[in-house]
A and B are shown apart, each in its own frame.
Chain A
Amino acid sequence: MSEQNLRSHVGPYFGEFGGRFVPESLIAALDELEATYNVAKNDPTFKAELAELHRTYTGRPSIITEAKRFAEHCGDGIRVFLKREDLNHTGSHKINNVIGQALLTKRMGKTRIIAETGAGQHGVASATAAALFGLECVVYMGEVDTERQALNVARMKLLGAEVIPVTTGSRTLKDAINEALRDWVANVENTHYLLGTVAGPHPFPTMVRDFHSVIGTEARQQMLDEFGFLPTALAACVGGGSNAIGLFHAFLDDEEVQMFGYEAAGDGMDTPRHAATLNYGRPGVLHGARSYMLQDEDGQTMESHSISAGLDYPGVGPEHSWLKDLGRVEYRGISDAEAMDALRLLSRTEGIIPAIETAHAMAGVIKLGKELPSGSSILVNLSGRGDKDMETAGKYFGLLDAKEGKN
Chain B
Amino acid sequence: MRAAIAIAETNPRLRVAVVSKVYPMRSHTVSAEGGAAGVIAADDSLDEHAYDTISGGDWLCDQDAVDEFVKEAPQELLRLEHWGCPWSRTPEGRIAVRAFGGMQKKRTWFAADKTGFHMLHTLFQTSLKYTSVVRYDEWFVTKLLVDDGRVQGVVAIELMSGKIQPILAKAVILCTGGCGRVFPFTTNASIKTGDGMALAYAAGAPLKDMEFIQYHPTGLPFTGILITEAARAEGGWLLNKDGYRYLQDYNLGTPEPEPVLRSMELGPRDRLSQAFVKEVEKGRAIDGPYGAVVHLDLRHLGRQVIDAKIPFVRELCQKYQNIDPVKELIPVRPVIHYVMGGVHTDIDGATPLAGLYAAGEVACVSINGANRLGSNSLPELLVFGARAGRAAAEYASTQTDPNSSLLAQAEDERRRLERDFLHKTDGAERLATIRTEMQETMEQGAGIYRSGEGLTRAADRLRELQERFRNVAMQDSSRTFNTELTAVLELSFMLDVAESIVHCALRREESRGAHQRTDFTGRDDERFLAHSLNYRNSDGSSRVEYLPVTITRWLPGERVYGR
A and B: partners? no
